[in-house]
Structure 1
Amino acid sequence: MRVIGLMSGTSYDAIDAAAADLRLDGDRIVLQPLGLISRPYDDDLRAAITAALPPATTSLADVCRLDTFIGQAFAGIAEQAVEQLCGGHADLIVSHGQTVFHWVDESAVRGTLQLGQPAWIAEATGTTVVSDLRSRDVAAGGQGAPLVSIFDVLWLQGRPGTPVALNLGGIANITVVPPVGAPLAFDTGPANALIDAVVRELTGSAFDADGVMAARGRVHEGLFERLLAEPYYRRAAPKSTGKELFHLGYLAEKMAGLPEIAPDDVVATVTALTARTVAEAVRGYGGTEVLAAGGGIRNPVLMDLLKLELGGIPLLSTDELGLPSVAKEAYAFAVLGFLTVNGLAGTVPSCTGARHASVLGSITPGRGTSPISPPGPYPVALDLATP
C-alpha cells in the first residue's frame, strides 16, 4: 500500500509529507521510504496560528478559519506528494494536522485538538484520509502522546541494551525499549519550543540557525536553576506537555526579579535546559544508546551539549540506521494510518498510559473504494526496506 504521512509539529514552521510503500509480511510491517517533501506555512497562516495559541485567547470564528486554512495547506502539499512521490496515485493519506491545544490537567490529559479539516485533503486528492489520531487514546485514558512510540517499539526492539528513540521537535519526547519489561514513552520537556520563542521575540528569526546565538552565549546559572525546578520534570511517566506550558510568558515569569540577561545568554540557557532534561530522562531509564530525529538535531550546539550531558551514551541520528531523521514523524504517522485501515491498534498502553490499545483516528473516504481491511495478526516488528 502506498501511504503518505502528513505532519506539522509543535514548531508549526512547515508541513512535511513522507511517502512510503507499506505492507504486512507475516508478523512484520515492511516500510520502504519513497521520499519527503516539505512546504513552509505561508507567513500569514503562521502568524494566525501563533496569534491563536496559548496563552493567547481566540474565538470560534478564528478556530473555524484556521481549521479550513490549515486543511487547505495540508491538501496542497498532499497533492504535490501524490504526484512527485507516488507517481500520481496514493492508496492512503494520513494527516496529523496541527496541534493547537493539548489539555493537560495536572498529570491527566482531558482532551487534545489538532486542526486541519481532512475533507480538503480527500477532495483535492480523491484519496481516503485518516486523521485525528490522538483523540481515541485520550478517550481511553491515555496521554495521546507520544504516538510515535508504537513505531519506535516495533522498529527498535531486539537491538542490544536499552535503545532510546528521541524526537527533538518543539517538545522533546523519548521512547525507551528495554530488553525485558514494558516499553515506556513520554515528553521530557521543551526541545525547540523555548529556544524558538526567545529567538523570534529577540531577533525576528524563526530559530537559532546553526546554534549561533547559543554558541556565543553563556548559561545563566540563576535562570537555569529556576527552569530546572519546573515540577513537570519530576512527574512520573507516562506524561505529556506542550506549548500550553512552555511558552514565552512562562520564560518571562522565570526571569522575573533577575538582573537583565543578555539575549545570547538566554538562548544558551534554554538550549542547555533541553540537553539536561533529555539526558536526565535517558539516564533515568537506563538508556544505552539514543537514536535522534527532529529539527533539533540540526542545531550543532544542542547536539554537542546533549552528547556531553549523556556522558558516553552513544548519540546517533536515525539516518545512520537508514531512516531519514527529517521524515521520521511523518513516516510514523503513515504507519499509524496503515494500522488503522488494517483494523489494528496504533498505541502501546504502557507508553501512553491508556487503559487499552486502540485503533486510532477518523476516516474520511476518498473517491472509489476505501482501503479498509479486516484485522489480521498483530505485527511484532518493523523492517526498513531499500528501493
Structure 2
Amino acid sequence: MRVIGLMSGTSFDAVEAAAADLALEGDSLLLRPLGHLSVPYPDEVRDLIAAALPPAATTTRTICALDTGVGQAFAGTAVRALRELCDGTAELVVSHGQTMHHWVEDGTVRGTLQLGQPAWIAEATGLPVVSDLRSRDVAAGGQGAPLAAMTDALLLSGLPGTPGALNLGGIANVTVLAPGAEPLAFDTGPANALLDAAVRHFTEGVADHDEDGRGAAAGRVSPELLRVLLADAYYRRPAPKTTGKEHFHLPYLLEALGAGPVPDTADVLATLTRLTAVTVADACRAHGVTQLVVSGGGVRNPVLMRVLAEELPGVPLRPSDDLGLPSAAKEALAFAVLGFLTAHGLPGALPSGTGARRAALLGSITPGRSPLRLPDPAARPPRLLRVTR
C-alpha cells in the first residue's frame, strides 16, 4: 500500500508530508520511503493557531475557522505529495491534524483535540483518509501520546542493548526498548516549545526560533532560572505521561522569569536549551538507555545536540537517518505507518507506552471518491520495521 502521512507538530510552522510504500512480510513491516516535503502554513492560519492555543481564550467560530483552514492546508500539502512524491498514485492518506488542546487533569488525559477537517483532504485527493488517531487511545484509558512509539519500537527492535528513540519537536518524547521488557514511551518535557516562545517574546515576533542555536551559544546558563524550571512536578511523575503547550507556554515561562532577576535574552535561551537536555538525559538515565536515535526539528540545532551529548556522556547519539528514516520526516512516516496498521485491522498504540487498558485500533476513516475498500485484516502485527530502498 502506498501511503501519504501528514503531520504538524506543536511548533505549528508547517505541514510535513512523507510518502512510503508499506507491506507486511511475515513478522516484518517493510517501509520504502518515497520522499518528503514541508509546506509552511499560510500566515493567517498560523496566526490563528497561535492566537487560539492555551492559555488563550477562543470562540467556537475560531475553532470552526481553524478546522477548515488547517484542513485546507493539509489538503493542499496532500495534493502536492501525491503529485511530487507518488507520481499521482497512492491508496491512503493519514492526517494527524493540528493539536490544539491535550486535556490533562491530575496526570489523566480526559480528551484531546486535533483540528484539520479530513473531508477537505479526501475531496482534494480523492483518497480515503485516516484521521483523529489519538482519541481512541484516550477512550481506552491511555494518554493518546506519544503515538510515534509504535514505529519507534519496531525500528529499535533490531538494535542491541537498551536503545532509545528521541523526537525533539515542540515537546520532547522518548521511546525505550529494554531487553525482555515492553516498550516504554513518554513525553520528557519541552524541547523547542519554551525556546520558541522566548524568541518570539524577546524579538517581539520578528523571529520565531533560535536559528542554529546561535542565541543560546552566546549566553550562559542561569543556575537560578534552571533550578526554578526544574522544580516543575511534571518531571518527577512516572511514565507513561504526556504534556504539551497547554502546560509549557509563554505565561509559564514569564512566571518562572518573575521568580528572580531576569537574565539577558541569550542567557534565557542558553538556560532553556540546557533544560531540554537535562530533562531528556534524566529520563534516559532512569531507564538505562545505551544509545539514542534522534529525530525532529531539534536535530537541526547544533547547540542543543552538543548540550545533550554533554548531559549523556557515553551514550552515542545518532540521527534516525542512519537507520533509513529521515529525521525531518520521521513523525510523518510514523503516522503513515499508523494509518497502514488501521487499514489492516491492527492496533497502532502501545499500552505500555500510553497507559491504555488495551491496544486499540486508531482513527476514523473518511472515504475518498470511490467506495471504501479495505484490505483483508492482517493475521498478526509486525514485530520489526525494515526500511528498504
In the other structure, the counterpart of 2:163 is: 163
**Pick from 343, 347, 350: which aligns with 1:348?**
350
Mapped partners of 2:344, 2:372: distance in 1: 11
Q: Where does 1:266-305 land on structure 2 (aligned, <5 Å)?
A: 266-305=268-307
Q: Where does 1:193-232 land on structure 2 (aligned, <5 Å)?
A: 193-203=193-203, 204-232=206-234
Q: Where does 1:39-54 land on structure 2 (aligned, <5 Å)?
A: 39-54=39-54
Matched-pair contact (CA < 8 Å) for 1:91–1:371: no
Runs of 4+ in 1 over 2 A off after TM superposition: none
Q: Where does 1:16-31 land on structure 2 (aligned, <5 Å)?
A: 16-31=16-31
Corresponding residue SS for 1:326: coil
Is residue 383 of structure 1 aligned with residue 379 of structure 2?
no
Mapped partners of 1:270, 1:52: distance in 2: 24
Bigger mean CA deviation after superposition, 370-379 or 81-90: 370-379
Q: Where does 1:250-269 land on structure 2 (aligned, <5 Å)?
A: 250-269=252-271
Matched-pair contact (CA < 8 Å) for 1:133–1:361: yes
1:361 Cα offset (Å): 0.1
Amino acid at match of 1:176: V
Gaps of 5+ in 1: none
The TM-score with structure 2 as length reference comes to 0.98
Mapped partners of 1:153, 1:244: distance in 2: 27
- The C-alpha deviation readout for 1:88-134, integer Å capped at 9, x for no partner, is 12100000000000001011000000000000000000000000000
Matched-pair contact (CA < 8 Å) for 2:158–2:384: no
Matched-pair contact (CA < 8 Å) for 1:157–1:179: no
Mapped partners of 1:216, 1:290: distance in 2: 27
Corresponding residue SS for 2:329: helix
Is residue 322 of structure 1 aligned with residue 332 of structure 2?
no
In the other structure, the counterpart of 2:58 is: 58
CA RMSD of aligned residues (A): 0.8
Amino acid at match of 2:41: Y
Matched-pair contact (CA < 8 Å) for 1:128–1:371: no
1:260 Cα offset (Å): 2.8
Q: Where does 1:176-187 land on structure 2 (aligned, <5 Å)?
A: 176-187=176-187
Amino acid at match of 2:208: A
Matched-pair contact (CA < 8 Å) for 1:9–1:99: yes
Amino acid at match of 1:167: N
Amino acid at match of 1:362: S
Mapped partners of 2:373, 2:235: distance in 1: 42
Matched-pair contact (CA < 8 Å) for 2:351–2:358: yes
Mapped partners of 1:257, 1:278: distance in 2: 24
In the other structure, the counterpart of 2:313 is: 311
In the other structure, the counterpart of 2:96 is: 96
1:374 Cα offset (Å): 3.0
In the other structure, the counterpart of 1:331 is: 333
Corresponding residue SS for 2:314: coil
1:246 Cα offset (Å): 0.3
- The C-alpha deviation readout for 1:253-293, integer Å capped at 9, x for no partner, is 11114113101111111111000000010011000000000
Matched-pair contact (CA < 8 Å) for 2:212–2:301: yes
How many residue pairs end up in the alignment?
Answer: 386
Matched-pair contact (CA < 8 Å) for 1:171–1:193: yes
Amino acid at match of 2:255: E
The TM-score with structure 1 as length reference comes to 0.99
Corresponding residue SS for 1:187: strand
Matched-pair contact (CA < 8 Å) for 2:323–2:387: no
Mapped partners of 1:164, 1:340: distance in 2: 25
Mapped partners of 1:371, 1:163: distance in 2: 38
